[in-house]
Amino acid sequence: MKKINIKINGQSISCDENKTIMQAAHDNGFELPNLCWHPDLSIKANCRVCVVEIAGRKGLHTSCSTKIEDGMEIITDSERVKRSRNLNIELIFAEHIERCPTCIWRFNCKLLDLADQYKIEITRFKDRKGKRKVYKFGNAVELDGTQCIDCRNCIEACGNLQKINYLGLKGKGVNQEVVPVNEKGGLPFIGEKAKKVDCIYCGQCAVHCPVGAAQEQTHWHLVEKGLRDKSKVIVAQFAPSIRVSLGEEFGLKHSKAMPGQIVTALKQLGFNYVFDVNFAADITTMAEAEELLERVKHGGALPMFTSCCPAWIKYIEFYRPDLIPNLTASRSPQIHSAGVIKTYWAEKMKINPKRIVVVSVMPCTAKKFEAGRAELKVNGNLPVDYVITTRELAWLIKKNKIDFVNLKPATADNPLGEGSGAAAIYGASGGVMESALRTAEYLLTTAQDSVCAGLKNKNKLKFCDSRIEFKDMRGQNGIKEAVVEMADKKLRIAAVNGIGNIAPILEKIKDYDYIEVMACPDGCIGGGGQPIPTTAEIRRKRLEALYKIDAKSEIRRAHENEEATAVLKWLEDKGKLKSQVLYTKYKKRK
């Protein structure tokens, strides 16, 4: 790439052309503040806090939107720049009602950081948004108008990124407000007829909001209350993807997997038992692989769609109920896990399931919605009682002054502790499918219908030299496709990476046998409940970390997880209970 020469604050710099001032400054150690800028989204340049002076040009210029040019002289710290930057931050601060004591953002709040860094007086203007509404989306996500700074990242994330278009702007000037489009006058486009739109709870608005105005509906306080109730057995279960992301909240590198520290932290918070959802992901994989082959062999509805992503389920139920028969009947890992805890484990431990409180720690906001689905009840109990996000867990750890980084790692409680490498990659787009294919291929080459049968005939495992890695399903492309041959079968498969990429696939579903859909970019590691910032680059590092866990695992196929297959065997003769724990139904939503 062509190099050009610029000056920043008098310092000569040679850098690649086609960069913005913000990028060039960042690459050379000049940090410029920003709020509305996010690498996942288009450049809007509306917060105006990244302004700089450019020699020979009138006015100030936003560094996020201005490209560098040869010979450009940029000044980032003149009095004029400081005046406008500070004033704009101050103006923005007066839009945001501080709720610091209970805000899970408190420890990494961008606004507080900016105020501190630039010595902003945050009380010169009176807060003006005290009477704004809080919009709740299901029990999962909320948009708090009293904290919104009008940067529009949420609208972009919901529209351009996810293509759901549930959020729009109402009014103009100081009366401008981000609202769900169903709200009168809140259409994203004027003149266009209102379409039937609903939130899928993916939380991408939240993970792209710089100030926590869009965020999860927090449940940490309920969990805190539960932890104090000594009559209950409080169980935590954590998702595959949070082990590689939680560390970021504590300043650690993105590639660091810390399941052991997570277990210790949860124990220190007061949880009686801690389980790893990776274990149940192996159960999900086996149930799903069996169902896929059943459908392929006996003419069931194809393509079969994965169902682990609750935002995708909401999408189907609301936008395409005609495709409900194509969803796998298998429950998702958190529900499998909790179902097993409240049956198999409860029986083993001789604990009344009603005494057990299961708290999921998920990278996801939609999991909160999933946990409340009545049809998931097992023996009349909802499997999961509370769901908190990665961010909520980080908040609890920080709030309780637990030194996460230096915790002594512990292993998750058994017998529901260990998961295979296939389970670890559930957090990656394409991972669920890859895991299911590993087991499906084993079943096909050993000519079996069920993993349980396989266990009876262990020596067969030996001559099964099936593939482990399905690399076509990996990576950050929006749509990943392949044709895989297994025994005498050819499977046409696709992974949809982010719900924004779903449209072209839905137009030609007949071309596929098996489709994985994850609503969030790059799968759960990019989930709506993950640490902020989450960017393509950060997601790439989290992905790498997950695949590293898989590569290093002793067992890499779900059906080789003996404890997990033991659970399936236990369920074999339980009749109704088996289907209650393993399978579910979906319903059309209006």
Partner 1 sequence: MTGLAMDILSKIKKANLVGRGGAGFPTAKKWSSVAKALEDKEAGEGKSYVVCNASEGEPGVMKDGYILEHYADRVIDGIKIAIDFLLAEKGYLFLNHSYYKKLNKTLTPFLKDSKIEIFIKPINAGYIGGEESAILNAIEGRRIEPRLKPPFPTAKGLWGYPTLINNVETFYNVSLAASGDYKNKRFYTITGDCPFEGVYELPDNLIIEKLLNQTKNYPKFPFFAVVGGSASGEALNSSQLKRQVSGAGSIAIYSLAKNNFKKAIKSWLDFFVNESCGQCTPCREGVYRLQEIFMKEKIDWPMFNSLLDNLSDTSICALGSSVATTMKSFIKNVHPRINEKN
Q: How far is the CB of 170 from partner 1 (least distance, A)?
A: 10
**Residue 484 contacts residue 470 (beta carbons within 8 Å):** yes
Q: Which of 7, 75, 94, 300 binds partner 1 (CB under 8 A)?
A: 94
315-332 burial code (b ≥16 CB/10 A, e <16) = bbbbbeeebbebbbbbbb
Residue 149 in tokens: 């700074």
State the first-to-last Cα distance of the chain, in angstroms, to the nearest integer: 52
d(CA 557, CA 77): 56
Is the Cβ of residue 65 or residue 139 nearer to partner 1 in the bound state? 65
Q: Which of 99, 116, 125, 405 binds partner 1 (CB under 8 A)?
A: 125
Examine residue 557 and tell whether it contacts partner 1 (CB under 8 A). Answer: no
Q: How far is the CB of 167 from partner 1 (least distance, A)?
A: 13
Selection from 331, 378, 330, 328 nearest residue 358 by Cα: 378
Is the Cβ of residue 12 or residue 175 nearer to partner 1 in the bound state? 175
Examine residue 44 and tell whether it contacts partner 1 (CB under 8 A). Answer: yes
Examine residue 163 and tell whether it contacts partner 1 (CB under 8 A). Answer: no
- Sheet strand arrangement including 3-8: 11-16, 3-8, 73-75, 51-54, 61-62
Examine residue 569 and tell whether it contacts partner 1 (CB under 8 A). Answer: no
Examine residue 175 and tell whether it contacts partner 1 (CB under 8 A). Answer: yes
The region of 37-45, 332-340, 352-360, 564-572 touching partner 1 under the rule CB under 8 A is 37-45
Residue 542 in tokens: 């989290």
Distance of CA 2 to the CA centre of its chain: 38
Examine residue 176 and tell whether it contacts partner 1 (CB under 8 A). Answer: yes
Examine residue 49 and tell whether it contacts partner 1 (CB under 8 A). Answer: yes
Examine residue 167 and tell whether it contacts partner 1 (CB under 8 A). Answer: no
Residue 398 CB partners (closer than 8 Å, separation 6+): 107, 249
Examine residue 87 and tell whether it contacts partner 1 (CB under 8 A). Answer: yes
Examine residue 88 and tell whether it contacts partner 1 (CB under 8 A). Answer: yes
Examine residue 46 and tell whether it contacts partner 1 (CB under 8 A). Answer: yes
Three-class DSSP labels, 32-77: CCCCCCCCCCCCCCCCCCCEEEECCCCCCEECCCCECCCCCEEECC
Is the Cβ of residue 128 or residue 489 nearer to partner 1 in the bound state? 128
Q: Do the bridges between strand 304-305 and strand 479-486 make them parallel or antiparallel, or are there none, so unpaired? A: unpaired
Q: How far is the CB of 536 from partner 1 (least distance, A)?
A: 22
Is the Cβ of residue 111 or residue 265 nearer to partner 1 in the bound state? 111
Beta bridge partners of 14: 5
- Sheet strand arrangement including 356-362: 273-276, 233-238, 356-362, 386-389
Examine residue 446 and tell whether it contacts partner 1 (CB under 8 A). Answer: no
**Residue 418 contacts residue 563 (beta carbons within 8 Å):** yes
Is the Cβ of residue 189 or residue 583 nearer to partner 1 in the bound state? 189
Examine residue 124 and tell whether it contacts partner 1 (CB under 8 A). Answer: yes
Q: How far is the CB of 181 from partner 1 (least distance, A)?
A: 13
Q: How far is the CB of 176 from partner 1 (least distance, A)?
A: 3
Residue 366 CB partners (closer than 8 Å, separation 6+): 140, 200, 201, 202, 203, 309, 310, 311, 314, 519, 528
Examine residue 57 and tell whether it contacts partner 1 (CB under 8 A). Answer: no
The region of 48-56, 351-359, 478-486, 492-500 touching partner 1 under the rule CB under 8 A is 48-56
Q: How far is the CB of 136 from partner 1 (least distance, A)?
A: 24
d(CA 549, CA 552): 5
d(CA 472, CA 210): 34
Q: How far is the CB of 165 from partner 1 (least distance, A)?
A: 13
Examine residue 97 and tell whether it contacts partner 1 (CB under 8 A). Answer: no
Is the Cβ of residue 10 or residue 59 nearer to partner 1 in the bound state? 59
Examine residue 48 and tell whether it contacts partner 1 (CB under 8 A). Answer: yes
Q: How far is the CB of 275 from partner 1 (least distance, A)?
A: 47
Examine residue 434 and tell whether it contacts partner 1 (CB under 8 A). Answer: no
Q: How far is the CB of 485 from partner 1 (least distance, A)?
A: 41
**Residue 343 contacts residue 581 (beta carbons within 8 Å):** yes
The region of 82-90, 459-467, 474-482, 518-526 touching partner 1 under the rule CB under 8 A is 82-90
Q: Is the dihedral of CA 356, 357, 363, 369 positive or negative?
A: positive
DSSP secondary structure, 522-547, as one string:
TGGGG-TTS-S---HHHHHHHHHHHH
**Residue 318 contacts residue 198 (beta carbons within 8 Å):** yes
Identify residues 181-240 at the interface with partner 1 (CB under 8 A).
188-192
Q: Which of 17, 98, 150, 563 binds partner 1 (CB under 8 A)?
A: 150
Examine residue 128 and tell whether it contacts partner 1 (CB under 8 A). Answer: yes
The region of 24-32, 174-182, 281-289, 513-521 touching partner 1 under the rule CB under 8 A is 174-182
d(CA 23, CA 5): 14
The region of 22-30, 123-131, 422-430, 551-559 touching partner 1 under the rule CB under 8 A is 123-131
Examine residue 59 and tell whether it contacts partner 1 (CB under 8 A). Answer: yes
Asked if the bond preceding 533 is cis, omega within 30° of 0, the reply is yes
Residues of this chain that interact with partner 1 (CB under 8 A) are: 43-49, 51, 59-60, 62, 65, 80, 83-84, 87-88, 91-92, 94-95, 124-126, 128, 150, 169, 171-176, 188-192
